[in-house]
Chain A
């Protein structure tokens, strides 16, 4: 026969455990926030300095370019932050330190632990975007087409985009060897940024039809175009419905792949 169930520890609710997991990550995030922001937003902001400030003043780039650039810069910051916030710690945890073990021993399903990591990725992505927006606007000066009228849409795109990229981070974080993390960011993330319609609008690629349809495999395109639809709706942009549908689909695919990887890595 088996022993009587323990009365010492009452089974906690899933919500309570998720709260504890989130609190741990928020405490750690608060300590590392400055380094985190520098790591994920310095590159996009330097891009703003060159293409949103220097080149327009030199006359190489028309001032109107700023309206196409700003939503893209937000998209890059959001996507980079979300993907890194999930992937980098996970590569370390599963590759070497196994520090995540104490959370995998929590009395909760492993997919809850994975989902909490994704939620933190979204939070960090949104924080990075909020951090970059005023600074970029300050560097570029007034942007005619920019409007804050569709704040709800901005938030929706930010959360959906952050979710899609956090789930991409979950997939990358469980699929990559620690030794290859640098290579992976050079080979996957860098092309993703440059071919992600962040620094130019998707409609602008009409001059290059092959390119225009090839970049559609790139998740960043939808975040950047979604930001354009929300922040500069008067300028040409991809339809918001397409953007939202694509982001939901991308999130679904990488959640399925990422979860499979997570469970595979978590189960020894």
Chain B
């Protein structure tokens, strides 16, 4: 398999988020800083990435899955040359993101988390000028722009101001912009965040078509379903670390003990977790506050026994939630917390 991306020991440490300097210099970026105080080497620093090793193949649809603050956006930032790594190496489309950043930018397309089209220009001009920044002759750019706008269903908006587009249309304009210079690797950072379900499905279709056309795609998301449905391989990241990377099917197969049963109790759950562990068919239990998580091969059949265990421990059951084996249960077992 040819490599589109390889990272080795990628680390990113941000200086103190509450520092005077950062607040003065970086007001817009402050909310984007992932907070992971538990891993910080000193209270003054935030470790966004703690040594990431990744390989993405040419033509692959690769997903970076993790909760907010996992380091997804930082990873995309480094791979798109917009964030300088503290240490480690990243090669994208054959060029180093630090020592040869302009070469990387020539070969990638980037769809940002929040649409940031040039609002001084109309929709078509956004594409034409972006193409011009990549040295594409005007006639070719005009043809490609018309094709892309039609393909993404905003051909009739070519002369419109950016502000006249809906959120979904702006996001599609961002994808068109990312594609106009025919990049080898396309990066999308949470592309469906804030879109209504219909716009999200439309976007999925666009991404599937891009993938089918052989483009390498790297997408971050915190939606399990999205990663499951679209990606060839998924990397699960949390607190700046890579926890697992594989195909969705193989990741789901790794989910521990089949079904996850979550019981919300009316008090601390530790004793209930201990009791549940002795039940037949239970592979693993954990207590988080007043919540107990039980992984079982027996699915819903275990519920009466679990309620008896809880009552024996003097706890009432307030709520029960069943999750079939999924990326979600794997994620919870890897990180100890839910995605969203």
Residue numbers of A with Cβ under 8 A of B are 1-6, 8-13, 16-17, 20-21, 23-24, 27-28, 31-32, 94-99, 101-109, 174-175, 177-179, 261, 264-268
* A9-B182, A28-B121, A97-B119 known; A105-B107 Cβ under 8 A: no
**Chain B binding surface SS class:** loop
> In whole Å, how far is A176's beta carbon from the nearest beta carbon of chain B?
9
Q: Are B25 and A265 in contact (CB under 8 A)?
A: yes
Q: Tell me whether B6 is interfacial, beta carbon within 8 Å.
A: yes
Q: Are A178 and B27 in contact (CB under 8 A)?
A: yes
Q: Are B182 and A8 in contact (CB under 8 A)?
A: yes
Q: In the complex, what distance in Å separates the CA atom of A94 from the CA atom of B28?
A: 7
Q: Tell me whether B84 is interfacial, beta carbon within 8 Å.
A: yes
Q: Are A3 and B4 in contact (CB under 8 A)?
A: yes
> In whole Å, how far is B286's beta carbon from the nearest beta carbon of chain A?
36
Given A16-B135, A24-B118, 11 more pairs with CB closer than 8 A: A1-B2, A3-B58, A9-B182, A11-B103, A20-B133, A24-B121, A96-B28, A102-B177, A105-B80, A105-B82, A264-B25
Q: B184 — which chain A residues lie within 8 A by C-beta?
A: 3, 6, 8
Q: B195 — which chain A residues lie within 8 A by C-beta?
A: none
Q: B326 — which chain A residues lie within 8 A by C-beta?
A: none
Within 8 A of A (CB), among B133-165: 133-136
Q: Are A6 and B118 in contact (CB under 8 A)?
A: no
Q: In the complex, what distance in Å separates the CA atom of A5 from the CA atom of B58?
A: 12
Residue numbers of B with Cβ under 8 A of A are 2-4, 6, 24-29, 32, 58, 77, 80, 82-84, 91, 93-94, 102-103, 105-107, 110, 112, 114, 116-121, 125-126, 129-130, 132-136, 177, 181-184
Q: In the complex, what distance in Å separates the CA atom of A24 from the CA atom of B102?
A: 20
Q: In the complex, what distance in Å separates the CA atom of A6 from the CA atom of B185?
A: 11
Closest 10 interchain pairs by CB?
A12-B135, A20-B132, A106-B133, A107-B106, A98-B116, A28-B120, A2-B94, A3-B2, A107-B105, A8-B182
